[in-house]
Amino acid sequence: METCIFFDHCEKDTQIVKQVKNLYKALKASDKEAIAKILADDPVWNVSPGFPYGGVYNGMAEIFGSFYSKLRNQFNSFGAMPETFIDGGDVVTVLGFYTFKSNKDNSTKFVRFSHTWKINGDGRIKGVWQVADTAQFIG
Assess contact for 100 and 73: CB atoms under 8 A: no
Kindly report, residue by residue over 59-71, the tens digit of the pLDDT. Answer: 999 999 999 999 8
The pLDDT tens digits for 6-28 are: 556 677 899 999 999 999 999 99
Per-residue pLDDT at 6: 55
User: How many Cα atoms are found within 13 Å in the side-chain-facing hemisphere of 134?
Assistant: 11
Considering only residues 114 and 1, tell me which one the structure prediction assigns the higher pLDDT: 114
- pLDDT above 90 covers a percentage of the chain that reads 69
Span of 3-7, 30-34, 125-129 with lowest mean pLDDT: 3-7
Reference 21, options 63, 29, 111; nearest CA is: 29
Q: Across-strand partners of 17?
A: none
- Residue 24's H or E segment, with its range, is helix 15-29
CATH topology of domain 15-137: Nuclear Transport Factor 2; Chain: A, (3.10.450)
Over 60: is that where the pLDDT of 4 sits?
no
How far is C-alpha 30 from the geometric centre of its chain's CA atoms? 12
Taking the C-alpha atoms of residue 122 and residue 44, their distance in angstroms, rounded to an integer, is 17
pLDDT-based confidence at 139, cuts 50/70/90? Answer: low
| Per-residue model confidence as pLDDT tens digits over 86-124 | 999 999 999 999 998 877 777 888 899 999 999 999 999
Letter for the amino acid at 105?
D
Residue 2 binned pLDDT confidence (cut-offs 50, 70, 90): very low
Q: Which residues face 78 on adjacent strands?
A: 100
The mean predicted confidence, pLDDT, of the chain is 89
Is 138 buried (19+), middle (13-18) or exposed (0-12) by CB count in 10 A?
Answer: exposed
pTM beyond 0.75: the answer is yes
Q: Is the pLDDT of residue 44 over 60?
A: yes
Q: CA torsion sign, 103 to 108 to 111 to 116?
A: positive
